[in-house]
Amino acid sequence: MIAVGEIDIGNTQRDAAAIAGVGHTEYSKNSGVTTLTLAIRAVQAALADAGLSQHDVDGVACHRVGDSVDPALVAQALGVRDLRFVRDVFGGGSSCIAPLDAAATAVATGQARCVVVWRALNGRSGVQMAGAASNPALSADAQYWLPYLHASAPQQFAMFARMYMHKHGLTAEDLGRVAIAQRAHAALNPRAMMRRPITMDDYLGSRWIAEPLRLLDCCQQNDAAVALVVTSTARARDLRRTPVTITATAFGGGGQLASNHRSDPTVSGAHAMAPRLYAAAGLGPDEIDLAELYDAFTPLVPLQLEAYGFCKRGEAGHMIREGAVRLGGVLPINTHGGHLSEGYVHGLNHVAEAVLQLRHDCGERQVPGAEVALSTAQPGVNSGLTGAVILKRAA
């Protein structure tokens, strides 16, 4: 959604579509099934959650990076009789909001009545997105990385993390507090892969992956699928669950680490995009009750606290030290444990958690009275794209 002059184009679709159902598969190290099977299982779970069936579906949308099933095949396997809308987005975590935005737009404009959105991957037992053995042709920046054997995602994000820590005085202990807080949240989440609480000694004692990133700074690698059911807000009110409306989405350009042409590489695409998101939603950061922030690596959390206006630049470390991001704090983040502890479904599990929080379905980890949530894509660090969505509990 963008604004042109004084006209906010995003307002025309604000809260017109809603997420009516959420579905998960098990998070595992080896699913033993194809990504088609994972997708079908998650979609069927989401439809059952909404009180719908596959015969209600007339649209499909997903994102993938050559590591998952064609959405048209999912539609066929579901037995969709009249497929009216298909969106197949190329991209990983930076693109995770795009299929949700497409589904909401399709519903709001009458292209489809019920669109299922999913991400399915065998990221541990099958194809690992952006692993060192993945196709370097996916990024033009590979020409700068490969001569130095600088190919994996942890290596690339380690360079950003070092710059960010140096510029803003962020310490290893600050990153550790992110990992510890999210593990504490995961301990309350039966789906989470990693539920054992961790201490600062555990964090500092975890092995190096690519300095300054330790093992506990890095997300899980797993097999899993997550799905959402998107329909009109009016229709969702007649279904099984409390509707969660899609209030606004926004997208922005990121930058590759080696060739991003940014004067300050620690400023992400999310910094420029966030004002457009809030303008489209008609609210500000002080009205967000919880945030599910993309956390492939711990440094992305303080970066986004600043980018989305929850604190000033350079103050995220203080916010984290004060406990603001924990359950019971002023802005609980990654209440399911995030990618660090629940599992890595490239941002869509963050949207799913936001929906469950706004439905007040999260049990021990519930944020009391949650009404508005932010869920983000990878913030545009080492990537050409970012995005985010603001969701509301329907009145």
In DSSP notation, 16-39 reads: TEEEEEEEE---BS---S-HHHHH
Calculate ∠ Cα 344-348-351, nearest 5°. Answer: 120
Peptide bond into 212 cis (omega under 30): yes
Strands 244-255 and 383-393: antiparallel
**Cα–Cα nearest to 250, from 272, 283, 273, 279:** 273
Question: CA 389 to CA 208: how far, in whole Å?
Answer: 33
**Cα–Cα nearest to 345, from 51, 80, 62, 1:** 62
Question: CA 301 to CA 305: how far, in whole Å?
Answer: 6
Calculate ∠ Cα 351-119-355, nearest 5°. Answer: 20
27 is catalytic: no
Q: Treating both helix axes as pointing N-terminal to C-terminal, what angle do 300-307 and 269-281 enclose, rounded to 10 degrees?
A: 50
Catalytic residue among 27, 203, 308, 344: 344
**Cα four-point dihedral sign 331, 229, 129, 220:** positive
In whole angstroms, what separates CA 63 from the centre of its chain? 12
Tell me the three state secondary structure of residue 12: helix
Residues 6+ apart with CB under 8 A from 317: 168, 169, 170, 171, 174, 302
Catalytic residue among 203, 278, 294, 308: 294
Residues 6+ apart with CB under 8 A from 337: 182, 183, 185, 186, 187, 189, 192, 194, 195
Rg value, the chain, Cα: 19
269: amino acid identity, one letter: G
148 is catalytic: no
- Tracing tokens 């015969």 back to the chain, one arrives at 55
Between the two ends of the chain, the Cα-to-Cα distance in Å is 23
192, 222 contact by CB (below 8 A) = no
Positions marked catalytic: 294, 344
